[in-house]
A and B are shown apart, each in its own frame.
Chain A
Amino acid sequence: MKIKNMLMSTAAAMVALGATAVTVQSADELPACDNCANSMTLVSWGGAYQNSQVKAYAEPYKALTGVDIVWEEASNEAVAKLRAMKEANNLTWDLVDVVASDAIRLCDEGLAREMDADTELAAAPDGTPASEDFGDLMVSDCFIPQIVYSTTFGYRTDVEAWNGKTPTNICDVFDTETFPGKRSLEKRPINNMEWALICDGVAKEDVYDVLSTPEGVDKALAKLDTIKDDVVWWSAGAETPQLLADGEVVIGSTYNGRLFSVIEEQKQPVAMLWDAQVFDLDGWIVPTGLPEDRLNRVLHFLKFATDTQRLADQAKYISYGPARKSSAPLVGKHADLGIEMAPHMPTDPANAKNTFLYNYEWWADNRDDLDAKFQAWLAK
């Protein structure tokens, strides 16, 4: 997989260079913005992630330009809301943070603006054009990637019933004998079906072939059936961390950055299970049909917010890997905790021994169908 190789090389570069300080030009001298609106509505996911964006992009930008930035937490409904806005011809958003699959969908539907990476985005400090710096992670013409994240598991380290054992393998999630207790899984088929098949003995590379057959779907659901009674289903990324912290579940899937904040910031007795983590991308799209002045403002902000230094800065607040190759060496220590961030990145070689990349195209085709089956199974 191309993306995976690219991630690996990023990680390797990160390790090779370590935290060597590389001086980058300061951002004091922003080019002037002609005919630009004075406020922007940015849409993101809320929580620690949005906070990292506020700290790394929005606050510095505001300090330099004085532009008002309003945040809206609606990325999980971005496609629906953008469609409604288009229908109403009433675009209230200026820049939207979405996952790659939604970006592809929005771009296909003409709801997201196609970007010219090399002219509209900043080049790397050494002059490498943006398109090369982002490389394969630009999975769609409309998508400006920010981070690489992964969906993975966290578990409580103080469960007495486990008799001192700790889960090391993805299939331990399905092993309620050795690891009794509630689990939390996302209330959708994506990822869960793949994990179930892998733990049912299907080879990683065959997962989607098997899942394309009705028998494969039954097989995956049968595997999930074995733990169904022990599962709490979540739909928002913040639920698993909360459930783990409260002790409502003992093991649960969520985004790795959310787990980082539970473990390192809130110091809860929770640890990461990186096995079979699923990589995904998250980034910006610009909605189509913005009036001239708002578009100018957004492009001005984007050029700043996606440059090498800003992407590296974001990693000071949350453990997601920056999407630019040139940002990797600049990743330093956590802003408050002062710990090295590199080992907490999903792309760190120690964490990425066994990873899984999910197939956007396959899910775009089969999402409706599988979702119907999955929900029917859930409701039974």
Chain B
Amino acid sequence: MAKAGLPVFKPSLTGFVVPLVAALGAVFGFLWGLSMGNGTLGIVLGAVLGAAIAYVLPTAVPVKKTGVLGVAILIGVLGFFLGGAGGAFAGVIIGAVVGNAAYWLATGDYRAGLPPYASSNQVLWHHFFRIGICGFIFFFLIAPIITIIPLSFNAENFFTFTKKMLTLDPEGYSLKHYRDFMTNPDWQLALKNSFMIAPFATILATSFGTLAAIGLSQSHVPFRRAIMAVLISPMIVPLIISAAGMYFFYSRIGLQGTFIGVVLAHAALGTPFVIITVTATLVGFDRSLTRAAANMGADPVTTFFRVQMPLIIPGVVSGALFAFITSFDEVVVVLFLGSAAQKTLPWQMFTGLREQISPTILAVATIMVGISIVLLTVLEMLRRRSERLRGLSPA
């Protein structure tokens, strides 16, 4: 809907809306046609259908929701007759997209948010930038991760979508790769190790890192820059070099191939993240709070736990999450430092990828994406909490 107060812009129906929607329809029709074996016929039918929708819909059905729903159902039913369950699914999506596009164009909504004086070229560029360029990049970012999720439910040992999967035939899907993951002793050992090593490394990294960050945030720290450079270095030095150095050195002192060796190495790699996140929260920390506490008779320990800690805790926890994920995802160092008894999930995935790529890897990958989403959510919640808390303190 165009905003009130601005002249309502009505684009030409036959000269603008119908050809564009018809073109969109043709693209979908082409893809559909290909899967049925005749692309050209698909183009023609898609274009006709698109044109019809664009012509009829905005004028005959003024309520957008009803119209889009109607088109989605219509094409969904059509899809069901042409391609079963999978066809119906695809049809509903195509219908919703085409229906929305028709309304968006016909009502002039596509100019919303742009100044009314924008030329048509500017409008075109605006949408091309958002939908074409940014859409493509977001697709590039997210598609690889999304693709592996359905593939992990593949009933076959292939790495690509089977015909049965595309038609949403239940037989094309199975949990067998997950079953393999749950029963295979190699994967189970790796899972156990990952959940043993990461927490220990996290505890070490977080406790040392938090203390150091508090130390570094004091107003007078000798050699601050140099110390900071040393403490951040594990994040900057390429992993292969860290791994090589640790391999040589830990061999000399008998830590190569031990659980402790891997934990220490991972803790070292995780500390820079803790320092960075905790320092960031301390930057916004109001020093007069500790002074006030001291003034009212609290000793430094009490001040730390009762005043400082609650305020920096979001930074500490997000640092811990970073340290956890660093250890949990780390593969190069563990490949060199560890022996079979310490193999972690990424280790097992790496050897699996290099040796024999079985779809079990995709099942594990999906599970790990799930873990990432959980961590990401927790982190986002912490960030909000931190902002809220800091909003309370006079800055």
Q: Which residues of A contact B (CB under 8 A)?
A: 41, 43, 46-47, 70-74, 81, 84-85, 87-90, 92-93, 235-239, 242, 246
Of the candidates A41, A89, A236, A246, which one forms a contact with B354 in the assembled complex, judged by CB atoms under 8 Å apart?
A236
- Count of B residues near A, CB < 8 Å? 19
User: In the complex the two chains form, is B256's CB within 8 Å of A89's CB?
Assistant: no
User: In the complex the two chains form, is B256's CB within 8 Å of A85's CB?
Assistant: yes
Instruction: Report Cα–Cα, A41/B255, bound state, in Å.
Output: 18
Of the candidates A73, A84, A85, A89, which one forms a contact with B340 in the assembled complex, judged by CB atoms under 8 Å apart?
A73
User: In the complex the two chains form, is B256's CB within 8 Å of A90's CB?
Assistant: yes
Q: Within 8 Å CB of A84, what residues of B?
A: 247, 251, 256-257
CB distance from B153 to the nearest CB of A (A): 20
Pick the 7 closest A-B CB pairs, nearest first. A72-B340, A238-B356, A84-B251, A88-B254, A88-B251, A238-B355, A236-B355
CB distance from B154 to the nearest CB of A (A): 14
Q: Within 8 Å CB of A71, what residues of B?
A: 340
Q: Within 8 Å CB of B355, what residues of A?
A: 46-47, 236-239
CB nearest neighbor in A for B335: A77
Instruction: Report Cα–Cα, A242/B352, bound state, in Å.
Output: 12
Q: Within 8 Å CB of A90, what residues of B?
A: 254, 256-258
Instruction: Report Cα–Cα, A197/B340, bound state, in Å.
Output: 40
Q: Does B250 contact A (CB under 8 A)?
A: yes
Show 30 A/B contacts (Cβ-Cβ < 8 Å), sorted by A: A41-B340, A41-B341, A47-B356, A70-B340, A70-B341, A74-B340, A81-B257, A84-B247, A84-B251, A84-B257, A85-B251, A87-B251, A88-B250, A88-B251, A88-B253, A88-B254, A88-B255, A88-B256, A90-B256, A90-B257, A92-B257, A92-B339, A92-B341, A235-B354, A236-B354, A239-B354, A239-B356, A242-B356, A242-B357, A246-B159
Q: Within 8 Å CB of B252, what residues of A?
A: 87-88
Instruction: Report Cα–Cα, A248/B257, bound state, in Å.
Output: 36
Q: Does B12 contact A (CB under 8 A)?
A: no
Q: Which residues of B contact A (CB under 8 A)?
A: 159, 247, 250-258, 339-341, 351, 354-357
CB distance from B385 to the nearest CB of A (A): 45
Q: Within 8 Å CB of B351, what residues of A?
A: 46, 73
Q: Within 8 Å CB of B340, what residues of A?
A: 41, 43, 70-74
CB nearest neighbor in A for B343: A72
CB distance from A265 to the nearest CB of B (A): 13
CB nearest neighbor in B for A72: B340
Instruction: Report Cα–Cα, A89/B257, bound state, in Å.
Output: 11
Q: Within 8 Å CB of A236, what residues of B?
A: 354-355
CB nearest neighbor in B for A87: B251
CB distance from A364 to the nearest CB of B (A): 24
Q: Within 8 Å CB of A242, what residues of B?
A: 356-357
**Additional A-B contacts beyond A43-B340, A73-B340, A237-B355 (14; CB < 8 A):** A41-B341, A47-B355, A74-B339, A84-B247, A84-B251, A85-B251, A88-B251, A88-B252, A88-B254, A88-B255, A88-B257, A90-B254, A236-B354, A238-B356
Instruction: Report Cα–Cα, A84/B251, bound state, in Å.
Output: 6
Instruction: Report Cα–Cα, A162/B341, bound state, in Å.
Output: 48
Q: Within 8 Å CB of A70, what residues of B?
A: 340-341
CB nearest neighbor in B for A46: B355
Q: Within 8 Å CB of A73, what residues of B?
A: 340, 351
CB nearest neighbor in B for A86: B251
User: In the complex the two chains form, is B339's CB within 8 Å of A72's CB?
Assistant: yes
User: In the complex the two chains form, is B257's CB within 8 Å of A85's CB?
Assistant: yes
Q: Within 8 Å CB of B251, what residues of A?
A: 84-85, 87-88
Q: Within 8 Å CB of B357, what residues of A?
A: 242
Instruction: Report Cα–Cα, A74/B251, bound state, in Å.
Output: 17
CB nearest neighbor in A for B158: A246
CB nearest neighbor in B for A266: B157
Q: Within 8 Å CB of B253, what residues of A?
A: 88
Instruction: Report Cα–Cα, A105/B357, bound state, in Å.
Output: 32
Q: Within 8 Å CB of B256, what residues of A?
A: 84-85, 88, 90
CB distance from A104 to the nearest CB of B (A): 23
Q: Within 8 Å CB of B254, what residues of A?
A: 88-90
CB nearest neighbor in B for A242: B356
Instruction: Report Cα–Cα, A359/B152, bound state, in Å.
Output: 46
Instruction: Report Cα–Cα, A246/B250, bound state, in Å.
Output: 41
Task: Determine which residue in B253, B355, B357 has the highest number of CB atoms from chain A within 10 A of its CB, and name it.
Answer: B355
Instruction: Report Cα–Cα, A380/B148, bound state, in Å.
Output: 34
CB nearest neighbor in A for B348: A73
CB nearest neighbor in B for A93: B339
Instruction: Report Cα–Cα, A186/B123, bound state, in Å.
Output: 56
CB nearest neighbor in B for A71: B340
Q: Within 8 Å CB of A81, what residues of B?
A: 257, 339
Instruction: Report Cα–Cα, A74/B247, bound state, in Å.
Output: 16
Q: Within 8 Å CB of A89, what residues of B?
A: 254
Instruction: Report Cα–Cα, A47/B355, bound state, in Å.
Output: 8
Instruction: Report Cα–Cα, A47/B356, bound state, in Å.
Output: 8
CB nearest neighbor in B for A84: B251
Q: Within 8 Å CB of B339, what residues of A?
A: 72, 74, 81, 92-93
CB distance from B343 to the nearest CB of A (A): 8
Q: Within 8 Å CB of A92, what residues of B?
A: 257, 339, 341
